[in-house]
Chain A
Amino acid sequence: MTAQPFEVKPYPEMWESLDMDVPRFEKSRQMLGEVYTNMYLSQTNRPAKMQYFDDMVSEIFGGRIQEMLEVKKTGKPIVGTFCVYIPEEVVVAAGGVCVGLCGGSQGSVPDAEKILPRNICPMVKSAYGFKAGRICPYFQTVDFVYGETTCDAKKKTWEILDRLVPTHVMEIPQMKNKRDKTLWLEEVHDFKAKVEDVCGEEITTEKLAQAIRVINNKRKALQRLTALRAHNPAPISGKDALLLEQIAFYDEPVRFAEKVNELCDELEERVKNDDGVADKSAPRVMVSGTPMALPNWKVHNLIETAGAVVVNEESCIGTRYFKDLIDENKSTMDEQLSVLTDRYMQIDCSCFTPNDDRVDQVLKEYRDSNAQGILHYSLQFCHTYNIEEIKIREACEKEGIPYLSIESDYSPEDVGQLQTRIEAFLEQIRE
């Protein structure tokens, strides 16, 4: 019996109806299938419950889009976001879908560079390029996108992106003082009003309470996964875990949480039996820094190909997305939005100053995950993470934690250099 080769499923008619550049997109589809086969399906001893997530990748440009289009037909909002500061609970409360549109692919960067400066973050370029080139079905499906005022690259790109798709901007303060919360809370109220406006329905306290529970459950499932990864030998590869953290941004949240929990049940068994994806002696690396948007698997792949295992991602596509929950016991809208804002204010993104909580958080996650070294990852031209790296490095030096900092983009040209640096880092850990 030969297994069906993996394929990202094509939906040319649907793509056509979404006004996509179908011939070009067809190539990206095939490429994604190949890359996924090479990087993911070649792994050994993968948990059986990864099947669902493989299917999610297979249906990434089809099945999941269809589901969203169904929701859209009912008049509910489909909102695209680029940052974990946009409160998805509000969208879910309205019966809508919130989808992360961060770009993690080199393929769309040239589209962006036709208009945007080259020396800005590749995530911003990739995302913009997806829209400009009409090569992302999610971008083509959303009613509007909600940007935010975090880094300069993003906030200025919104003005340009708005020409292609309605782009609203939520003002995220730069500090975390009392008056900043006041501003933020007002912005959350405005966001809610905007979402209500699109669906023509009021978001009630019951609906919001329900949505808070749904998203809390999603975050809890990911917390559970993270805790299981602390075991040595690691029950799941870093690549697979990263994939889950990426899928969290586009899957239906209730089903996703269920599937992550099913996977965690399997991992619990593995932990009991000391059944791991890597040897007990494999170096355990924690990755910290800027988010790795789908399909950016470059660094994880290099680390794990070199025989180590990634055990934690301190990143927005990682723990920063799910470490904090919202208090579920509030009954008035004002209280709910206030605790919601409190939760969002706990996210420790480097766009804030000061942001020393992040340094403590990195050290905490390092200990909790039983890692043996920290690899700081910063996207090229991401000034805030690149500068904050100094503090992370100093903290690691002080604690005697093996540390490597890399700055990279999505192009394959630095893979050889990164491989050498990562292998040298692993030699340091092994000795």
Chain B
Amino acid sequence: MRVGIDLGSRTIKVATLVDGVLQDFRVEESGFEPHRQALEMVGSYKPGKITATGYGRHLAHKHFAQDVITEIKAHALGARHYYPDCMTILDVGGQDCKVIVLNQSGKVANFQMNDKCAAGTGRFLEIMAASLGYTIKEFGEAAMTSHQDVVINSMCTVFAESEVISMKNSGIKPADIARAVHLSVTSRLVGMLNRIGYKEKVVFSGGVANNPCIVKMLEERLQIPVFIPETPDIVGALGAAIHAGKNENDTLS
């Protein structure tokens, strides 16, 4: 069994692979000692080889994982697993987002990351949802009901939040504001995709890919279909699992 573990800044994800097929996966909020927690999460499996990726990859490597790869490479491997003809990956997680462009053979040709600023990440959506009193699910649904083109001008989360609050106070409907927030995140993502020069097929992964409103808006803006893996949050962990044991000519199943 090959195990991939993705130690992100907010969640830890584990994926296991047997004979090239995803067998199991888990996602947990990360606590104070991510490497302990990660070790517990893999503890119930009988791993042959473990590869770590994500922000805490080196910590996991120090304690138990045999190998590390960056989340860039992990997402490239994971996305190709679901879509062998994938050329671009857009990954939007809780605290960062990245765009990866592949070459024909699936190797990373170019990438861009944003993890310095919350704008264009799941965090941004969460903060705005909270300031309107929505859960994240309701937030997306509300946005879908609106057809008003209200615009949020601030890119910065802090300013955007106060903009949202003053919109609310000026009587703009929460659903319209929700739509505006989603549009703002979408523009940010489209901007990143354009800057790097994306190619079809575009695969969208990460927690935010579970948000149907963002997906719909992305497709409208890009005028192309965007493909969402079955389990968008664990694409990185899966990629790490695919990599696990790859370096040796092992006979692991």
Contacts and interface: CB of A to CB of B under 8 A. Distances in A.
A417 B95 CA distance: 12
Contact of A420 (B72, B107, B108, B109): B72
Given A420-B71, A420-B113, A427 B108 contact: yes
B115 interface: yes
B183 to A, nearest CB: 27
B69 interface: yes
A265 interface: no
Given A414-B116, A417-B115, A417-B116, A424 B107 contact: no
B70 to A, nearest CB: 4
Contacts of B45: none
Contacts of A420: 55, 70-72, 113
A421 interface: yes
Interface string A303-316: 00000000000000
Given A417-B115, A417-B116, A421-B113, A427 B55 contact: no
Contact of B73 (A416, A417, A421, A427): A427
B111 interface: yes
Interface in B56-72: 69-72
Given A414-B116, A417-B113, A417-B116, A424 B55 contact: no
A421 B72 CA distance: 8
Interface in A140-166: none
Given A424-B108, A428-B107, A428-B108, A416 B55 contact: yes
A423 interface: yes
Interface in B107-121: 107-109, 111, 113, 115-116
A431 interface: yes
A424 B115 CA distance: 15
A428 B101 CA distance: 12
Nearest to A397: B110
A128 to B, nearest CB: 25
Nearest to B68: A423
Interface in B29-65: 55
A328 B88 CA distance: 56
Interface in A26-76: none
Contact of B72 (A414, A416, A427): A427
Interface string B74-110: 0000000000000000000000000000000001110
B182 to A, nearest CB: 26
A427 B69 CA distance: 8
B70 A424 contact: yes
A422 to B, nearest CB: 9
A431 B55 CA distance: 22
B7 to A, nearest CB: 12
Contacts of A417: 113, 115-116
Interface in A405-431: 414, 416-417, 420-421, 423-424, 427-428, 431
Contacts of A431: 107-108
A416 B59 CA distance: 12
B6 to A, nearest CB: 13
Contacts, number: 29
A421 B71 CA distance: 9
Contacts of A428: 107-109
B116 A424 contact: no
A421 B111 CA distance: 9
B115 A423 contact: no
A417 B55 CA distance: 8
Contacts of B116: 414, 417
A75 B52 CA distance: 63
B113 A427 contact: no
Contacts of B111: 421, 424
B179 to A, nearest CB: 31
Question: Could you say which of A420, A421, A427, A431 has the most chain B C-beta atoms within 10 Å of its C-beta?
Answer: A420
Interface in B126-167: none
A35 to B, nearest CB: 20
A424 B74 CA distance: 10
A427 B70 contact: yes
Nearest to B100: A424
B195 to A, nearest CB: 11
A17 B73 CA distance: 56
Contacts of A424: 70-73, 108, 111
Nearest to B69: A427
Interface string A185-201: 00000000000000000
A423 B53 CA distance: 11
B101 to A, nearest CB: 11
Contacts of A421: 111, 113
B181 to A, nearest CB: 25
A172 B111 CA distance: 38
A428 to B, nearest CB: 5
A311 B69 CA distance: 24
A427 B107 CA distance: 9
Nearest to B115: A417
7 contacts: A414-B116, A417-B113, A417-B116, A420-B72, A420-B113, A424-B73, A427-B70
Interface of A: 414, 416-417, 420-421, 423-424, 427-428, 431
Interface of B: 55, 69-73, 107-109, 111, 113, 115-116
Given A424-B72, A424-B111, A427-B108, 12 more contacts: A416-B55, A417-B115, A417-B116, A420-B70, A420-B71, A420-B113, A421-B113, A427-B69, A427-B72, A428-B107, A428-B108, A431-B107
For the complex of A and B, list the 5 residue pairs with the smallest distance between their C-beta atoms, beginning with the closest.
A424-B72, A424-B70, A423-B70, A427-B73, A431-B107
